[in-house]
Amino acid sequence: MSLDEFGLIERIAARTRARADIALGIGDDAALLQLPPGQQLVVTADTLNAGVHFPPETLPADIGWKALAVNLSDLAAMGAQPAWCTLALSLPEADPDWIEAFADGFFALADAHGIALIGGDTTRGPLSISITAMGWVPAGQALRRDAARVGDDVWVSGHPGEAAAALQLWQQGGLDVRAAAVDGDLERLRQRLQRPAPRLQLGLALRGLAHAAADVSDGLLADLGHIASRSGVEAVVKGEAVPLSSALRRAFGAAAALDCALRGGDDYELCFTAAPEQRLALEAVASRLALPLTRIGVIVAGQGVRCEGDANGARASGYRHFTG
Ligand code: ADP
Ligand code: MG
């Protein structure tokens, strides 16, 4: 069975519910939203294109999850409370099974974080998913990239590099992205690529504690480099301090694992800076959220980003479109 555009929209709209902050949701020319008083609106957009941002054979449920996850990660990096999103879908065909599976992944994550789908667009074309996510933050409390200060510690959440490792294994033919791996470590890496967990609770907890923050989508050094350049400071990372998971080390060995952690993308961990006085408070956040937070470097006067003890020196570049 095939559906027209409106049949597809109906399938998606059936998964949404009424909410007090949505005066008008899917079905009109545009949505009407109620921002709580005293809050600033936080808006971000990210697109996933088949074959560029995910392997072509990726399961539709994983595509739905990840398309939203990368946007939620941007809200997390701003310290925002997620609220609403729109979904622009370009689909090669109107396959109801595909759309239901996509919605399963999308709404599993959306419902877990209380973000409501309030509109979108549905067109025919190459597979592409474009989401605009909106949230709010008390005025003046957003975590910005331009707020790092000399003397700050540099922190990272979780274990960066695992998603990039899974992608490399897939490129080498050593990982099926569609099926659970029998090996527990491999499955952990696969999950990190296919089902990234946006660090929203961490972003909220960092309000008032962190100075600057960014999510690690392009690679740890690249994204920390954005913080450094926006803040007019230099970031120095100590290579031996970067947390490497045992799954990552087992798959690649220590040196290649560090390269994945520093330059791999798609992790969606948070990298942030904070004054040394906040160390105890940040350790308390880590244990409350059961999420490792690791001090990996410092902010000094200067510019750029540098990693001590890394064989590849200053090569910071993460993934870039339109180059190479
Ligand atoms: P218009 O032609 O006025 O832009 P559409 O026919 O594109 O309206 O969409 C009808 C309604 O369905 C709108 O409220 C729109 O926001 C919503 N919508 C369309 N596609 C999607 C989608 N993929 N996800 C959620 N809502 C959608
Ligand atoms: Mg439209």
CB 148 within 8 A of CB 215: no
- Whole-number Å distance between alpha carbons of 309 and 262: 12
Distances (CA, A) of 297 to 157, 235, 300: 13, 7, 10
| Helices (H), ranges, 180-232 | 184-194, 200-206, 220-231
Of all protein residues, the one whose alpha carbon is nearest to atom 16 of ligand 1 is: 119
Q: What is the pLDDT of residue 322?
A: 54
Structural contact between residues 195 and 66, judged by C-beta atoms closer than 8 angstroms: yes
Euclidean distance between CA atoms 22 and 42, whole angstroms:
16
* Distance of CA 130 from the midpoint of ligand 1 (Å): 13
Cα 25 to ligand 2 centroid, rounded to whole Å? 14
Q: What is the mean pLDDT of residues 25-45?
A: 97
Write the residue with the smallest CA distance to atom 24 of ligand 1: 120
Tell me which DSSP letter residue 115 carries: P
- Say which ligand is closest to the CA of 25: 1
Report the separation in Å between the CA atom of 122 and the middle of ligand 1, taken as the mean of its atom positions: 7
- Asked if 76 and 207 count as a contact pair (C-beta separation under 8 A), the reply is no
| Residue that is written with structure tokens 């920390």 in the block | 224
Nearest bound ligand to CA 121?
1
- Plot region of 283 (φ>0 → left; ψ -120 to 50 → alpha; else → beta): alpha
Are the CB atoms for 266 and 196 separated by under 8 Å?
A: yes
Q: Are 281 and 207 in contact (CB under 8 A)?
A: no
E strands in 139-275: 153-157, 212-215, 234-238, 270-274
Strand order of the β-sheet with 234-238 is: 212-215, 270-274, 153-157, 293-300, 234-238, 304-308
In contact, 144 and 212? CB cutoff 8 Å: yes
∠ CA(6), CA(11), CA(14), 5° rounding? 115
For residue 16, give the ligand nearest its CA.
1
Question: How many angstroms separate the alpha carbon of residue 122 from the centre of ligand 2?
Answer: 7
- Mean pLDDT along residues 224-238: 98
Q: Which two tokens stand for residue 200?
A: 């929203």
For each of the domains in the chain, give its residue range(s) and CATH number, in order of start: 5-138 (3.30.1330.10), 145-308 (3.90.650.10)
Nearest alpha carbon to residue 21 among 37, 45, 9: 37
pLDDT for position 320:
55
Residues near ligand 1 with C-beta < 6 Å?
9, 12, 26-29, 87, 89, 117, 119-122
Looking at residue 324, what is its pLDDT? 44
> What rounded mean pLDDT belongs to the chain?
95
From the CA of 28, the nearest ligand is 1
Q: Whose CA is nearest to atom 17 of ligand 1?
A: 119
- Going from the Cα of 70 to the center of ligand 1, the distance in angstroms, rounded, reads 22
Q: Ligand 1 pocket test: pick from 121, 124, 130, 131 the residue with the most ligand atoms within 8 Å of its Cβ.
A: 121
Tell me which residue has its CA closest to atom 27 in ligand 1.
Answer: 120
Which one of 3, 4, 9 would you pick to mutate in the ligand 1 pocket, going by the greatest count of ligand atoms within 8 A of its CB?
9
- The pLDDT of residue 313: 56
276-324 tens-digit pLDDT: 999 999 999 999 999 999 999 999 999 999 999 887 754 555 555 555 4
Determine phi and psi for 152, rounding to 5 degrees. Answer: -65, 150
Give the Å distance between the CA of 121 and the centre of ligand 2. 5
Q: Whose CA is nearest to atom 10 of ligand 1?
A: 27
Q: What's the pLDDT band for 2 if we cut at 50, 70, 90? A: low
pLDDT digits (tens, 9 = 90+) for 108-123: 999 999 999 999 999 9
**pLDDT > 60? residue 37:** yes
Residue nearest to atom 20 of ligand 1 (CA): 121
pLDDT at 69: 98
The C-alpha atoms of residue 318 and residue 324 are separated, in whole angstroms, by: 12
**46-62 residue pLDDT tens:** 999 999 999 999 999 99
Q: How confident is the model at residue 89 (pLDDT cuts 50, 70, 90)?
A: very high
Residue-wise pLDDT tens digits, 179-191:
999 999 999 999 9
pLDDT, position 4? 84
CA dihedral 244, 250, 252, 253 (to 10 degrees): 80
**Annotated binding-site residue numbers for Mg(2+):** 29, 44, 46, 74, 121, 215, 218
